[in-house]
Amino acid sequence: MKLNKNTVGVEAVNKALEILNCFTEKREELNLTQLSKITGNYKSTTLRLSRSLENYGYLEKEPNGKYKLGPARDIA
């Protein structure tokens, strides 16, 4: 779900939100390659953003290497 070039805001935040928007009821788990293809971002960019989202609880990485939405818990 690539955003329009005219989208305003912080590019890195927009890219991170694009990753979260990849998940649906039918696509509950996605691997890095799938996330990269859907968003149109390089795998390296997708990996860095996914790690940040994981650190804040927005994503969880499963033992099989796939990501799923996380609980978005508060980390203090």
Residues forming a β-bridge with 2 = none
Q: What is the total count of domains within the chain? A: 1
- Is 3 part of a structural domain of the chain? no
- Is 21 part of a structural domain of the chain? yes
**What are the start-end ranges of the E strands in 1-76?**
59-61, 67-69
- Is 5 part of a structural domain of the chain? no
What would the pLDDT profile of 32-66 be if each residue is shown by its tens digit?
999 999 999 999 999 999 999 999 999 999 999 99
3-state secondary structure of 15: helix
- Is 2 part of a structural domain of the chain? no
Q: Residue 15: which domain range? A: 11-69
| CATH number of the domain where residue 52 is located | 1.10.10.10
- Is 74 part of a structural domain of the chain? no
Give pTM, 2 decimals.
Answer: 0.84
CA atoms within 13 A on the CB side of 28: 4
Q: pLDDT-based confidence at 72, cuts 50/70/90?
A: confident
